[in-house]
Amino acid sequence: MQVVFKRELDKIELENIKKFCNSVDYCSIEQSVGWSQLFYKSKICYFYLFDEYGIKSFSQINEGVKSAQIYFGPVCCEKEVMITSINEIIHYYKKRGFYYLGIQMYYKSGYDTDYIEYALNKLHKIKYIFNNENTKSSIEINLDDTQEEIFKKFKENHKRNIKKALNLKMTVEVMKDAFELASFVKIYLKMSKVRSLDEDKPINQIYNFLINNKKGEVLLIKDKDNIILGGAILAYQGNTVRYLIGATDPDRYDLPMLHLVLYKAIIKAKNNNFKYFDFWGFDHFADENDQVFNINKFKKGFGGYYTFFAKKMNINLIPYGYVFYKFLLIIKKIYWRISIIL
């Protein structure tokens, strides 16, 4: 197999990579070409592995100061190819004099993940840390269940809220135009301000990316007068629909909005022959006083089961590489705070 590392992809490479990523059972939105640029200013390096039959592995790599990160990649179907891919990436960044490489695989915990970790740990010094940043988990629903079985597993409070929303003649529709997008963005910004969220997600760009690449959609919830109350942004990840972002009007918290949106999203995903619905992100380390704790509780109310991703691999490319990486992050934060004051 041949290995390629590039800063820019030509048209044929881009087409082949998209074809490969669309052919696998699972490809996280983070590994879709162009997605990272919506959120990060870091340089992107593209890696792919191929033989005479085509591409076997692909990854977008975010580069910082002497450090690199892979978010839910590399994308590949075979554990031996995953091991080869990660080894090639490690050797590449060692040659370039990088200190640290962080890899969050998309593989779930299980035999294949254990096998990959065992093989890599025999060759490289890898550090594992047990916190929310380095130990990712989620809530997932198996869409092979019938609609009745899925609904039966919901908490009673969620069932009541869904029925209440339907009785109030609230409806869920796919976002269809710029006016509805502007209304959703306005609600998202209002909600973020009320809840003191420091997140500034580029909703317009996210929506355009998902639609242009056929990687997702937005479901809106409206009241009986057809007024938009909020909605959910959903991403397609191979055989999985992922709940990406939700927003509801803080002035209408008397209404059960997201309950109905997500219920409809689950059923729509099932009807469209997806295999799983992923609520994406369950913080087992959240304190009961933390806002995230209530988000966890809300997601778990839809039933589902816990899934655990492979633990993040913090790879020292030089002695104490991870320590240097964390030190540089601290310096960066201090510089950022000083720049704001000045």
> CB within 8 A of 122, min separation 6: which ones?
none
Edge-to-edge strands, sheet with 137-142: 171-174, 216-222, 228-237, 240-248, 276-278, 137-142, 305-308
Instruction: Please provide the CATH number assigned to the domain covering 2-136+309-341.
Output: 3.40.630.30
- What mean pLDDT do residues 179-185 have? 97
pLDDT given at position 285: 87
When computed from its CA atoms, the radius of gyration of the chain, rounded to whole angstroms, is 21
Pick the range with the lowest mean pLDDT from 45-49, 176-180, 265-269, 285-289. 285-289
pLDDT at 333 over 80: no
In three-state form (DSSP H/G/I as H, E/B as E, the rest C), the secondary structure along 14-50 is: HHHHHHHHHHCCCCCHHHCCCCHHHCCCCEEEEEEEE
Q: What is the pLDDT of residue 198?
A: 66
Task: Report yes or no: 53 and 38 within 8 Å, Cβ to Cβ.
Answer: no
User: Which tokens sit at 139?
Assistant: 């809530």
Fold of the domain spanning 138-307:
Aminopeptidase (3.40.630)
Looking at the DSSP bridge assignments, the partners of residue 58 are 48, 75
Q: In the prediction, which pLDDT does 5 show?
A: 98
Same fold for the pair 2-136+309-341 and 138-307 = yes
Q: What pTM value is reported for the model? A: 0.93
**Parallel, antiparallel, or unpaired for β 276-278 and 240-248?**
parallel
CB burial string 141-174: b at 16+ within 10 A, e below? bebeeeeeebbeebeeebbebbeebeeeebebee
Domain boundaries, the chain: 2-136+309-341, 138-307
